[in-house]
Structure 1
Amino acid sequence: MSTPQFLTLPPGVFPVELSLPHGPVAALRALPTSGSSPELCPAVLVHGYTGSKEDFIALLQSLAQVGREVVAIDLPGTYRSPGFETLSPAPGSPRPDYRLPSLGMVVAEVCELVGDGRPVHLVGHSMGGLIARETVLSQSTEVHTLTLLCSGPGAIAGQAAAQVRMLIAALSAVDPSPDRMRELWEEHVAEGVRARITDPEIRDFLRDRTLSSSPEALLHTAEDLLGAPDRTAELAGSGVPVLVLYGENDDGWTTADQEEMADRLGAERIVVPGAGHSPNVEAPETTSSALTTFWNSRESVGQR
């Protein structure tokens, strides 16, 4: 569970609601604090499993201040974004589900809106990397670059997978009513949160984020985390420049798997010293610098 260290929005960062074809999505939007219009290609940031837009709070101001718009979203059914099951699909259209392709199409909608005719830099953290990859491979919007932040080539494995299986079992075994969801929080999550987080505001936020999210979204995205195919070869053939960025102590996908994925992609690879699975929270200055340098270098190439 990626955990922001603070919740106060920096100058130039504010909450917005994005009106998309499938329905609304909650987001945090960052603009350069100088008041000038952003000149560089915008960026869209996609959180991981059980995360939210707040996981990027520590990055947003520094990413925007060089002259670009940056938008971090809540995926459908996560925190402040309504779930698919609460929305009425367009006449004749099936209701989207929470599988990777559907979420990838929602991210494509975000990119279209934020880009407004320009290609965007797309960042996916953890499971968000699998979703962002679907956006790129769908070819439904123009993506300038893709950054896989602590993400992997396919299904998650090891201890992280064991934790996801436990959550699937808990969600599948009961009717996920609000009361039962609160019981599951207390039974499976609350003790660990209290042990590692002293700030009561952050603890309350994590609880609110989990209980505000769709049980259906939590279940189906967990299933896809365990069953996602390896689409590295397809991504390598997309022509989109990729950055593979992860902490040296990442305990999601193994660092060896991420290194091998970068090699197969012919991608740039950056390892953040001292960070684990969430360098966006644990080392925001290093992460912001790496992203900005990568984005600027690719825009320079495109202008030649």
Structure 2
Amino acid sequence: MSEPGGTRELQVAGRRTRVTVDGNPDAAPILLIHGLGRSLEDWAPQRGLLSAAHRVIAVELPGFGFSDPLDGPITLPALAEAVQDTLGVLGEDRPVHVVGHSMGGAVSMQLLVDHPDRVATLVLSNSAGFGRGATVLMRTLAVPVLGDGFSRVGARTGLRRFERTIYGDPSHATAARVEHALAINRRPGYRATMLEAIRLMADVRGVREPWRRELLAEVVRHPRPTLALWGDRDRISSVSQLEEIGRVLPHASRRVFAGAGHLPQVEQPERYAATVLEFLAAQPRD
């Protein structure tokens, strides 16, 4: 029997946390983790496609979307622990197939490092952690004071432009998606959360090297079947980062989505889901 779809609000460690849960609760679980400044709505096109044969859980990271922030500083271990706590509230104690997008890829790898028994496989989608490059906007926002002021200027125009930038085909930046982004941006405390997360990941020169180096050094100690996915028109994190994945995780399979940008799961949902399901079907079963 399938679980009812739709967004739920859970209490996780005293925080309001949004999730969606779809599919047969007895089926092998897939966990979906969104990226920096995003929300669980980024996974909406995947839920029905993946849940025919799996229990599909999409979580919203603390402070993003419409979920409450952490009580303390934003760190990758804190975000990974929040994901682990959410799985606990949902009663999901089996190893999960983790699909992490952008910063969610870094959180996925941190979850593997901190709770290796909880991660069966990794799907890293346009993932953070494999390159130093960062957009001019991200590097600007990473600068204290300058970034604070810049984040307050022209929110509507800036968000519309950013939404168009993240897709290979800008027509995916629909009015509804722009309005959703604006609604999130208007939440009290949201901009502070965004700036804190950006400054965790990057500085004026680009992606910070220490967290990236330390995380990858730990990830290689916990090898898991891994699939790396990327859109070849990604203007946020270049598809060339697949080469770095090949060096760091030589066992990883790699796939490119021609014409897609930073969100191939939205732009090419059927092909994306089919690629993930094919990868999972090829894994040995207990």
TM range (shorter): 0.7 to 0.9
Report what 2:266 is aligned to: 281
Contact 1:250–1:277 under 8 Å retained in 2: yes
Give 1:166 shift. 2.2
Report what 1:129 is aligned to: 105
Give 1:147 shift. 1.0
Equivalent-residue separation in structure 2 for 1:142 and 1:99 (angstroms)? 19
| Aligned equivalent of 2:155, options 185, 189, 196 | 185
Q: Once the two structures are superposed, what CA deviation does each residue of 1:221-252 show, in whole Å capped at 9, x if it has no partner?
A: 10122123223332122032221111122233
Asked if residue 40 in structure 1 is aligned to residue 23 in structure 2, the reply is no
SS of corresponding position for 1:224: helix
Q: Once the two structures are superposed, what CA deviation does each residue of 1:226-281 show, in whole Å capped at 9, x if it has no partner?
A: 12322333212203222111112223333222233134212121222221211011
Asked if residue 214 in structure 1 is aligned to residue 177 in structure 2, the reply is no
Aligned residues: 269
Instruction: Give the CA RMSD over aligned residues.
Output: 2.8
**Which consecutive residues of structure 1, in runs of 5 or more, have no partner in the other structure?**
1-10, 32-36, 85-94
| Aligned equivalent of 1:203, options 171, 178, 198 | 178
Equivalent-residue separation in structure 2 for 1:193 and 1:296 (angstroms)? 33
Report what 1:30 is aligned to: 22
Give 1:285 shift. 0.6
Equivalent-residue separation in structure 1 for 2:231 and 2:59 (angstroms)? 22
Shift in alpha-carbon separation, 1:114–1:262, aligned structure 2, 3 A:
farther
**What does residue range 1-304 of structure 1 map to in structure 2 within 5 Å?**
13-21=5-13, 23-31=15-23, 37-66=24-53, 68-84=54-70, 95-114=71-90, 116-139=92-115, 142-154=118-130, 156-157=132-133, 160-169=134-143, 172-173=145-146, 183-186=153-156, 188-190=158-160, 199-212=174-187, 214-226=190-202, 227=208, 228-230=211-213, 231-265=215-249, 266-298=251-283, 301-303=284-286
SS of corresponding position for 1:13: coil
Report what 1:89 is aligned to: none
| Aligned residue type for 2:159 | V
| Aligned residue type for 1:287 | Y
SS of corresponding position for 1:189: helix
Equivalent-residue separation in structure 2 for 1:134 and 1:154 (angstroms)? 14
Q: Once the two structures are superposed, what CA deviation does each residue of 1:127-186 show, in whole Å capped at 9, x if it has no partner?
A: 1111111111112751111111001434641xx4321122334x745879xxx9765514
| Aligned residue type for 2:193 | A
Contact 1:241–1:267 under 8 Å retained in 2: yes
Contact 1:125–1:148 under 8 Å retained in 2: yes
Report what 1:4 is aligned to: none
Q: What TM-score, normalized to structure 2?
A: 0.82
Equivalent-residue separation in structure 1 for 2:151 and 2:255 (angstroms)? 38
Shift in alpha-carbon separation, 1:191–1:56, aligned structure 2, 3 A:
closer
Shift in alpha-carbon separation, 1:302–1:30, aligned structure 2, 3 A:
same
Shift in alpha-carbon separation, 1:52–1:229, aligned structure 2, 3 A:
same
**Which consecutive residues of structure 2, in runs of 5 or more, have no partner in the other structure?**
203-207
Shift in alpha-carbon separation, 1:112–1:238, aligned structure 2, 3 A:
farther
SS of corresponding position for 1:102: helix
Shift in alpha-carbon separation, 1:63–1:77, aligned structure 2, 3 A:
same
| Aligned residue type for 1:249 | R
Contact 1:22–1:106 under 8 Å retained in 2: no
Q: What TM-score, normalized to structure 1?
A: 0.78
| Aligned residue type for 1:143 | V
Contact 1:130–1:154 under 8 Å retained in 2: no
SS of corresponding position for 2:285: helix
| Aligned residue type for 2:55 | E
Give 1:12 shift. 5.3
Give 1:72 shift. 1.3
Shift in alpha-carbon separation, 1:210–1:16, aligned structure 2, 3 A:
same
Equivalent-residue separation in structure 1 for 2:152 and 2:180 (angstroms)? 14
| Aligned residue type for 2:97 | H
Contact 2:22–2:55 under 8 Å retained in 1: yes
Equivalent-residue separation in structure 1 for 2:124 and 2:91 (angstroms)? 20
Q: Once the two structures are superposed, what CA deviation does each residue of 1:86-110 show, in whole Å capped at 9, x if it has no partner?
A: xxxxxxxxx4321222111112222
